[in-house]
């Protein structure tokens, strides 16, 4: 099926209002931390590469591209030299990238200076890897940024595309970004250079910060229920927000993208697999139980889980360690956002009255914040299980250090009895410091009276979840050193 050039030009003209001298409608004033990295690569790239914004649907990739276009226009780039196109649109998808570029230049002759090509949902471009490689190698006057909602965009054709694009991995909104979008008036919190800096705080500083953070706790719980997607964060009704989230995941990702991108035919079985994972968020994946409950064969279930990871809906964490034992062990599963399970399972705000469910949602949020903060440093996240089934929820291996995190989101204060797994791991691996994520703002500060771990005491810091997630997402933290 062919698309007429006139029809294609009409579609592109709607996507590019700056060609008509018009402003971009409904562009939010707030900017995510990833915007600054994207702008740096478009303005003065450290290397001759395109930029890939990779992440799930509805997390703000399109907004980032349009904000980049708006910034370029503000810096004096000729409107004719900026093209935005989304290959999610049927006309653009049918036409193909070469026809889009031809239509662009027929509508808007090139002006002096660099060209900027911003492409949405580029996984629908035929032979996209080869096209990007050719552009980077031979079109030196062009800067290219493109988005994708599926990991194959970053994996397929990697051999031919090595070194041709820089990937910016987008996650859902951090708690810090969520507060900025909501434009809430809250007491300021102290800036934190790194989590390690907490060990140098005087006791009075913990007390003052806990007092200032009191209004943040309720917003953190709403964040867990509403989700870190820009659209759902701004919807007034939580019920409506969860419905939008549910529809985006079930209808657009599971039913449409999985069929279009991966040729999945057993959509109902895939949906059931995802529902099973929603029921076991933050837990160890039991493939035997999954296959038995859903009546699917193991290779089919494994393929479904790999596809869910490819579309950024889940993360898989191996156990701590290396070698054959890890290969045979069970993975831990986290959903991409703490609000996904309550939305898909139609739980509404009921998790706030369910201590176990609230703890799981908090653990998921904590992992997502740590992942977003440190993934660019090639951090390795695992979980640890020791004697008597003692566990540590998260173990980060970054910059040559092992940093454990244990989530204890409960009303009572955290003492040695609740930290047996963390203390055992610290003793076993001679770890210098670890972190316990707590619920009460009063449960904040160095853990006291802990038994010795090996040859020395490990320093254990208790941090309330709202504060940890706030600091992990704060732009001030991203601009300083990368100590955990």
The per-residue pLDDT for range 121-159, each reduced to its tens digit, is 998 888 888 899 999 999 999 999 999 876 555 455 444
Q: How far is CA 241 from the centre of its chain?
A: 18
- Better-scored residue on pLDDT, 450 or 36: 36
Architecture of the domain spanning 5-170: 3-Layer(aba) Sandwich (3.40)
- Alpha-carbon distance of 284 to 292, in angstroms, equals 16
Sign of the CA dihedral with 309 first, then 371, 341, and 186 last? negative
The pairing of strands 314-317 and 332-335 is antiparallel
- Alpha-carbon distance of 9 to 210, in angstroms, equals 57
Question: What is the rounded average pLDDT of the residues 327-344?
Answer: 88
* pLDDT confidence tier of residue 455, bands split at 50, 70 and 90: very low
- Better-scored residue on pLDDT, 84 or 170: 84
Which pLDDT score, from 0 to 100, does residue 7 have? Answer: 94
Residue 184 confidence (pLDDT) above 90? no
The per-residue pLDDT for range 66-75, each reduced to its tens digit, is 999 999 999 9
Question: What is the rounded average pLDDT of the residues 78-98?
Answer: 95
Domain regions of the chain by residue span: 5-170, 176-478
For 462, list phi and psi in degrees, rounded to 5: -90, 125
- Alpha-carbon distance of 91 to 456, in angstroms, equals 66
* pLDDT confidence tier of residue 431, bands split at 50, 70 and 90: very high
Question: What is the rounded average pLDDT of the residues 55-77?
Answer: 93
- Alpha-carbon distance of 197 to 149, in angstroms, equals 36
> Percent of the chain scored above 90 by pLDDT?
56
Question: What is the rounded average pLDDT of the residues 369-375?
Answer: 87
Which pLDDT score, from 0 to 100, does residue 159 have? Answer: 47
The per-residue pLDDT for range 238-287, each reduced to its tens digit, is 888 888 888 877 778 888 888 877 888 888 999 999 999 999 999 999 99
Average pLDDT score, the chain: 88
Question: What is the rounded average pLDDT of the residues 60-65?
Answer: 93
Which pLDDT score, from 0 to 100, does residue 42 have? Answer: 94
Which pLDDT score, from 0 to 100, does residue 483 have? Answer: 56
Residue 398 confidence (pLDDT) above 80? yes
Q: Which residue(s) pair with 332 in the sheet?
A: 284, 317
CB 468 within 8 A of CB 442: no
User: Any idea which of 14-18, 265-269, 322-326 has the lowest mean pLDDT?
Assistant: 322-326
Which pLDDT score, from 0 to 100, does residue 129 have? Answer: 86
Which pLDDT score, from 0 to 100, does residue 479 have? Answer: 44
Residue 224 confidence (pLDDT) above 50? yes
């Amino acid at each position: 099926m062919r698309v007429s050039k006139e029809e294609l030009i009409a579609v592109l003209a709607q996507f590019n209002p700056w060609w008509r001298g018009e402003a971009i409608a409904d562009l939010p004033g707030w900017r995510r931390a990833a915007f600054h990295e994207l702008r740096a690569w478009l303005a003065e790239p450290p290397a001759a590469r395109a930029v890939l914004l990779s992440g799930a649907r509805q997390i703000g990739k399109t907004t980032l591209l349009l904000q980049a276009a708006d910034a370029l226009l503000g810096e004096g780039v000729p409107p004719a030299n900026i093209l935005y196109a989304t290959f999610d649109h049927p006309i653009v998808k049918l036409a193909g990238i070469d026809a889009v570029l031809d239509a662009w230049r027929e509508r808007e002759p090139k002006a002096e200076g660099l060209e900027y090509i911003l492409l949405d949902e580029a996984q629908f471009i035929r032979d996209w890897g080869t096209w990007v490689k050719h552009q980077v190698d031979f079109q030196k006057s062009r800067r290219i940024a493109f988005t994708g909602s599926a990991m194959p965009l970053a994996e397929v054709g990697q051999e031919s595309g090595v070194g041709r694009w820089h990937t910016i991995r987008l996650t859902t909104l951090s708690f810090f970004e969520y507060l900025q979008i909501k434009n809430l008036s809250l007491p300021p919190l102290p800036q934190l250079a790194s989590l390690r800096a907490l060990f140098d705080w005087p006791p009075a500083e913990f007390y003052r910060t806990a007092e200032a953070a009191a209004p943040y706790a309720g917003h953190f719980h709403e964040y867990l229920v509403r989700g870190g997607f820009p659209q759902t964060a701004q919807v007034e009704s939580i019920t409506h927000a969860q419905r939008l989230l549910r529809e985006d995941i079930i209808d657009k990702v599971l039913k449409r993208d999985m069929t279009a991108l991966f040729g999945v035919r057993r959509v109902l079985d895939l949906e059931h697999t995802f529902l099973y994972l929603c029921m076991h968020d933050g837990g160890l994946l039991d493939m035997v139980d999954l296959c038995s409950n859903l009546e699917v064969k193991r290779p089919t279930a494994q393929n479904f889980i790999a596809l869910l990871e490819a579309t950024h809906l889940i993360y898989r964490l191996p156990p701590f360690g290396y070698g054959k034992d890890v290969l045979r062990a069970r993975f831990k599963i986290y959903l991409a956002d703490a609000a996904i399970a309550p939305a898909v399972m139609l739980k509404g705000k009921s998790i706030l009255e369910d201590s176990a469910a609230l703890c799981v949602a908090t653990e998921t949020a904590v992992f997502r914040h740590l992942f977003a903060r440190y993934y660019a440093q090639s951090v390795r996240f695992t979980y640890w299980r020791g004697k008597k089934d003692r566990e540590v929820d998260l173990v980060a291996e970054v910059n040559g250090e092992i940093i454990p995190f244990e989530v204890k989101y409960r009303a009572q204060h955290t003492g040695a009895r609740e930290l047996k797994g963390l203390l055992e791991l610290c003793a076993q691996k001679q770890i210098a410091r670890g972190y316990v994520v707590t619920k009460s703002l009063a449960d904040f500060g160095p853990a006291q009276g802990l038994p010795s771990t090996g040859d020395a005491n490990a320093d254990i810091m208790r941090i309330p979840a709202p504060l940890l997630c706030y600091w992990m997402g704060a732009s001030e933290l991203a601009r300083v050193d990368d100590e955990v």
